[in-house]
Structure 1
Amino acid sequence: MSAVPSATAAASHATLEARVARFPARQVELASQRVLSYREACETSDALPLVLLHGIGSGAASWVQQFEALSASRRVLAWDAPGYGESTAVPAASPAATDYANVLYEWLEKLGIERCVLVGHSLGAIIAGSFAAMHPQRVAGLLLLSPAGGYGAASAEVRETKRDQRLAMLNELGPQGLAEKRSANMLSAHASDEARAWVRWNMSRVIPHGYARATHLLANADLASDLARLKGRYNGRLHIAVGADDTITTPAACERLALAADTQLQVVPRAGHAGYIEASAAYTAIIDTFCRASAGQRSQ
């Protein structure tokens, strides 16, 4: 399919922009003059808050469909990870997952969120897993969607090659070119023009220095190690799902992570890597069901 959106897709994309405008970006100041940008809906619910962490080529706005569907019953928050949107990048040029998890801790502290259901997509799953391993008492349930495992357990040669290839592509293409070249890989053949336009819009807005640091994070991280540390702590409150047509974090790769976590893998039909965008009804149902199952875990 051509990277140039059709008139119908462009109109759908404009509609999505109008929809996400209902959940405007906010900023809070954290320690050391750092800023964290995020979007939020339904601040007054007594239900467990739901916190959403996006992947490497995305942002808080990508979760607009989940905001619309889930904020009627609970507080829903999505951050722009450090180095994305208006969020200050982590200081380290080659950060570890703990660097991002520490910022997540600061942000939740600032907002007074003591316990939540934490959802991470792709690279966001690496951050979510690190946070849950560091602060298990703060996480009532951990849901990982198409989790990226990271290359931290691979050889130095593999890690450097994967890192340098992605950095070279960023330097050559820039965010807009990256979106045109890479966004189609995020989706299955079943995705609508609207979903394709929305993934492209989100990817085109990444900040180069934030994306570069996230690329280093991907090279350094080892999600399987963090998940192994969580064995026995979550008792069914750790769940992994992946699209059947995900070619980036494949069902086979996600199965290995599920084994490390001693949990079962849920495979979603007719969905690619950005399943929560292209198959929003199915993924929103997964998130909602998981939140309700975690509701009894409000108390530590």
Structure 2
Amino acid sequence: MLNATENPTVALQGLLDSRFAQRTLKLDGCQQAVREAGDGPVIVLLHGIGSGAASWLEVALQLSQGARVIAWDAPGYGDSTPLAPAAPTAEDYAARLLQTLDALNIERCVLVGHSLGAITAAAFSQLYPQRVNRLVLLSPARGYGDPARETQRLQVRAKRLHSLETLGIPAMAEQRSSHMLSTRASAKALAWVRWNMARLNHQGYRQAIELLCGDDLLRHTPLSVPCEVHCGEADSITTPETCHSLAKALGVSFTLIPDAGHASPIEQPYVVAGRLAFAVQQSMTGSAQ
């Protein structure tokens, strides 16, 4: 238990270093940082735009009791080399993910995409369905690449880039962290969201903005792998209504995560881990939904 005066991230960083340690893979012309724990069926976790591999810590500690858990720092995040294009596509991120899985000798996995990570997860699942047993999307960002959303795309891109350039990452972390959670979130959850967001790299975050504003998750359909969508019931960023609509467009199941905002893996790690453990079980029995 944390005492009232202890920084809640200190204990979490200790767990991160000891039980969900980073590995840095040397790939063709680049390096890729991942965190890994456990053994068994493989589950691969892709974080959102304002986060990193460490955001999955408490989920990974639960899942690693019965699975091999891999979480990456997306290209341009943490110690991962950015992608070459200034405005990379989801296919570029998917190609790096393929290199990563090959380097880890992972043939098949349950693939989980949170927020912006959902676009990469969907693209990878469409391109390499033989590598994915099941796809799980948590509070998926659809993106703004649909031509019908051009006005919104321009607004979101301008606002995100303006914040990055004028505020900088530390101030962004201070201002945006609370929006990632429900109003009932613990001080520990808020501190961990802020710690993860404060570790963003300028170039990687800028590339992720281009992905968010230039792509559309529905472009990577139809999916030929089993898929499910979950969303925090208090998510104010990718709202339950928009996530439900996306699930309907994909033709897949949709459920809410109680007492959670957008950053459900941090706010409700035990619930999220339970949903993902069930997805792993379903992937092993061949259940479609």
**Normalised by the size of structure 1, how large is the TM-score?**
0.91
Q: What displacement does 1:160 show?
A: 2.1
Corresponding position of 1:21: 17
For the aligned residue pairs, the C-alpha RMSD in angstroms reads 1.6
Does structure 2 retain, via aligned residues, the 8 Å contact 1:59–1:79? yes
Corresponding position of 1:88: 81
Q: State which of 27, 30, 35 in structure 2 corresponds to 1:30.
A: 27
Corresponding position of 1:75: 68
Q: State which of 163, 167, 174 in structure 1 corresponds to 2:161.
A: 167
Distance 1:87 1:9, change over 3 A: farther
> Distance between the aligned counterparts of 2:132 and 2:109, measured in 1?
5
Q: What displacement does 1:158 show?
A: 2.5
What residue identity is the alignment partner of 2:174?
Answer: E
Gaps of 5+ in 2: none
Corresponding position of 1:286: 275
Q: State which of 87, 108, 119 in structure 2 corresponds to 1:126.
A: 119
SS at match of 1:35: strand
Q: State which of 233, 242, 253 in structure 2 corresponds to 1:264.
A: 253
> Distance between the aligned counterparts of 1:267 and 1:21, measured in 2?
31
Aligned residue runs from structure 1 range 1-300, under 5 A: 8=4, 10-22=6-18, 23-31=20-28, 33-42=29-38, 45=39, 47-153=40-146, 154-226=148-220, 228-230=221-223, 233-234=224-225, 237-297=226-286
Q: What displacement does 1:191 show?
A: 0.6
Number of equivalent positions: 284
Gaps of 5+ in 1: 1-6
**Normalised by the size of structure 2, how large is the TM-score?**
0.95
> Distance between the aligned counterparts of 1:149 and 1:170, measured in 2?
21
Does structure 2 retain, via aligned residues, the 8 Å contact 1:10–1:197? no
List 4+ stretches of structure 1 deviating above 2 A.
7-11, 154-158
Does structure 1 retain, via aligned residues, the 8 Å contact 2:144–2:150? no
Deviations 1:213-246 (A, max 9, x none): 00000001110232x311xx23xx2110001100
Does structure 2 retain, via aligned residues, the 8 Å contact 1:40–1:77? yes
